[in-house]
């Protein structure tokens, strides 16, 4: 006996598609088990289709400037070891949903850019700033969640030093045809559940004290985490390739 599928077969065609309104034969979305929320005490579980870059156990999915990543791993997190350099994911990816949790040092030292400074670099060159900006004024395009050197966050949603914070990022990579930019990079950033950027267009790679134009590069790249000399911690890092609804 044929499956009785819910829906309608006597409705008009939706413009631009081959399907009717409420079409009983339209393919259904695939099932993904949603993530388990994190707490201050422990990271949550990623979605069932996520690629896990760091699960709190080791740095096997990461590389350092001279080979293996040299940051410290303990108690379910990794911590910057100043002077060992930035680390990059061995996985390369493009358009994605990215989740990163980070914590600035509980002991407050320094101010402005010298306090809990690190960075989350999409494709190794487009930075979402990591900084302890809780009661810590700095320049607008350099605070926590800023598209560094380009665009300040809409608000400052930073938690207290030592507390775990979340970045949820929707990233659309730039597209090139030869050396020509067909479409610039775009990003949406949510910090601790608060929207900082919505579909914001980047003018090029992020840099310090200057403006850098786009140069053509592959459609995928690594995630890079920055050694800026501060003891910033990271945990529960995963991404999902942006899914496309399968109409086949």
Is 4 inside a domain boundary?
no
Is 73 inside a domain boundary?
yes
Find out whether 133 and 143 touch, Cβ atoms under 8 Å.
Answer: yes
Is 225 inside a domain boundary?
yes
Is 39 inside a domain boundary?
no
pLDDT value at position 88? 98
Is 246 inside a domain boundary?
no
Give me the tens of pLDDT residue by residue for the chain, a chain 248 residues long. 456 789 888 999 999 999 999 999 899 888 999 999 999 999 999 999 999 999 999 999 999 988 999 999 999 999 999 999 999 999 999 999 999 999 999 999 999 999 999 999 999 999 999 999 999 999 999 999 999 999 999 999 999 999 999 999 999 999 999 999 999 999 999 999 999 999 999 999 999 999 999 999 999 999 999 999 999 999 999 999 997 766 65
Is 27 inside a domain boundary?
no
Is 232 inside a domain boundary?
yes
Determine the Cα–Cα distance for residues 119 and 81; give it in Å rounded to an integer. 14
pLDDT value at position 131? 98
Is 189 inside a domain boundary?
yes
The total number of structural domains that make up the chain = 1
Give me the sheet containing 87-93, strands edge to edge.
67-68, 62-64, 87-93, 221-225, 118-122, 126-130
Q: What angle do CA 103, 71, 219 make, to 5 degrees?
A: 85
Residue-range definition of the domain harbouring residue 207: 52-241
pLDDT value at position 44? 94
CATH number at residue 226: 2.60.120.560
The pTM (predicted TM-score) of the whole model is: 0.94
Determine the Cα–Cα distance for residues 173 and 9; give it in Å rounded to an integer. 39
Determine the Cα–Cα distance for residues 170 and 242; give it in Å rounded to an integer. 8
């Amino acid at each position: 006996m044929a499956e009785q599928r819910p829906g309608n077969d006597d409705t008009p065609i939706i413009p631009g598609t081959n399907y009717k309104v409420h079409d009983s034969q339209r393919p259904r979305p695939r099932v993904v088990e949603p993530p388990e929320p994190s707490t201050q005490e422990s990271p949550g579980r990623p979605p069932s289709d996520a690629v896990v870059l760091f699960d709190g156990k080791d740095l096997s999915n990461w590389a350092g400037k001279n080979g293996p990543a040299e940051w410290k791993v303990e108690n379910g997190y990794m911590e910057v070891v100043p002077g060992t350099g930035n680390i990059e994911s061995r996985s390369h990816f493009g358009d994605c949903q990215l989740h990163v949790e980070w914590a600035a040092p509980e002991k407050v030292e320094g101010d402005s850019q010298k306090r809990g400074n690190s960075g989350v670099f999409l494709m190794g060159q487009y930075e979402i700033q990591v900084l302890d900006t809780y009661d810590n004024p700095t320049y607008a395009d350099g605070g926590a969640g800023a598209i560094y050197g380009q665009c300040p966050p809409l608000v400052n949603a930073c938690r207290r030093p030592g507390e775990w914070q979340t970045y949820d990022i929707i990233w659309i990579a730039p597209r090139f045809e030869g050396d020509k930019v067909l479409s610039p990079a775009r990003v949406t950033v949510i910090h601790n559940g608060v929207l900082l950027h919505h579909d914001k267009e980047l003018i090029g790679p992020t840099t310090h004290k200057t403006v850098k134009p786009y140069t053509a590069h592959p459609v995928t790249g690594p995630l890079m985490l920055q050694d800026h000399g501060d003891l910033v911690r990271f945990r529960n890092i995963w991404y999902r390739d942006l899914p496309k609804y399968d109409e086949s």
